[in-house]
Amino acid sequence: MRVLGWRDTLAPTLSLFASGSTLVCCALPALLVSLGLGASLAGLVSAAPWLVELTRWKAWLFAGSGALLGLAALMQWRARGLPCPADAAAARACLRLRRVSAAVLALSALLWAVGAFFAFFAARLLL
């Protein structure tokens, strides 16, 4: 019998960080420019010049983070029917871990979708 462990939470957590990086590289600059805060964007890029390099590789960044999201969703789907321990406290922790993991995955997917919208579609639709 297999119980949820650190491997089952690693993929959703990695996907959260990966989708967060898509927001930093692509959505944040697009949002600042669309709000008329170009000077703030210039200050941000001067303070963190690696943002420009991330933006150059945004297609690969989104592909990688999308793959991590897919892997996390697959792991979540496969773990959905695994039994929790018979001990009441361990069973509650197991169910809580499943809920937290699902929430982290949902937040990651939302962040990824917002980043993808601003990176690839917002400029065509809003300008």
Among 108, 104, 103, 107, which residue's Cα sits nearest to residue 65? 108
Question: 16: exposed, middle or buried (C-beta count within 10 Å: 0-12, 13-18, 19+)?
Answer: buried
Q: Residue 80 falls within a domain, yes or no?
A: yes
Q: Residue 37 falls within a domain, yes or no?
A: yes
Q: Residue 10 falls within a domain, yes or no?
A: yes
Of the pLDDT bands very low, low, confident and very high (cuts 50, 70, 90), residue 1 is: very low
Q: Is the pTM of this model over 0.85?
A: no
Q: Residue 109 falls within a domain, yes or no?
A: yes
Alpha carbons 64 and 43: distance in angstroms, whole number: 28
Alpha carbons 108 and 102: distance in angstroms, whole number: 10
Q: Residue 78 falls within a domain, yes or no?
A: yes
pLDDT, residue 5, reads: 57
Q: Residue 68 falls within a domain, yes or no?
A: yes
Contact between 111 and 69 (Cβ < 8 Å): no
Q: Residue 44 falls within a domain, yes or no?
A: yes
pLDDT, residue 11, reads: 67
Q: Residue with structure tokens 């999308």? A: 66
Of the pLDDT bands very low, low, confident and very high (cuts 50, 70, 90), residue 2 is: low
- The percent of residues in the chain predicted with pLDDT above 90, rounded, is 0
Q: Mean pLDDT over all residues of the chain?
A: 79
Q: Residue 1 falls within a domain, yes or no?
A: no
Domain count, the chain: 1
Does residue 10 or residue 61 have the better pLDDT? 61
Task: Tell me the residue range of the domain where 89 lies.
Answer: 6-126
